[in-house]
Structure 1
């Protein structure tokens, strides 16, 4: 069973461009990680610094490896002073309904 994550990251005022740059640069490395089915960056409409990452991992082991991997270590180091608090990470359990391709991630 796959794992879906929604992570909210809020940049400190004046750090919005840095946060977006660091997150964008991490995407190709994360896409290459084992078990990564989705890792997509978004920005909350009407904001300058509220970023949302939607992720899908094939297993808990893949997710744990990602969290401990080099890409996240680089992101953590680069954004240590740029975020307004720790990321708000929500782990979701899918409740598929309707058309399979539309009813779940």
Structure 2
């Protein structure tokens, strides 16, 4: 099992658009083979940041997700709204 934690920080003027950008991504991704968890969280003190918590069966399932149409559309939509580069951590269970 592989886990991804990603921090996505957008410009303040983009906050209102986040639901429209993330909802189709999350809905479609949760139906993907190999996806065990795919959640978007927002810190209570920072509405411009989204923390993604993901759990995947394998590297192959992550690659398939990254190449999916809905993920590619998400990247195209979110890139001009980013306030900082994405922070992505792919991890395995330690103990």
- The two structures have a TM-score, normalised by structure 2, of 0.92
Residue aligning to 2:68:
69
Q: Which runs of 4+ in 1 moved over 3 A?
A: none
- Partner of 1:48 in structure 2? 47
Shift of 1:86: 2.5
C-alpha displacement of 1:17: 1.7
Give runs of aligned pairs for residues 1-105 of structure 1, distance below 5 A.
2-96=1-95
Q: Structure 2 unaligned segments of length 5 or more: list them.
A: none
1:87: how far off? Answer: 1.3
Matches of 1:58 and 1:50 in 2, distance apart? 26
Could you tell me whether the CA contact under 8 Å between 2:24 and 2:70 is conserved in 1?
no
Cα deviation for residue 24 of structure 1 reads 2.0
Secondary structure of 1:21 counterpart = helix
Rounded to whole Å, the distance in 2 between the matches of 1:87 and 1:23 is 15
Identify unmatched segments of 5+ residues in structure 1. Answer: 97-105
Larger Rg computed on CA atoms: 1
Q: Which has the higher helix share?
A: 2
SS at 1:39's partner residue? Answer: strand
Q: Provide, for residues 9-45 of structure 1, a one-character-per-residue CA deviation record: whole Å limited to 9, x for no partner.
A: 0011110121232112211100111100000010012
Do the aligned residues in 2 keep the contact of 1:11 with 1:84 (CA within 8 Å)? yes
Q: CA contact under 8 A between 1:24 and 1:41: conserved in structure 2?
A: no
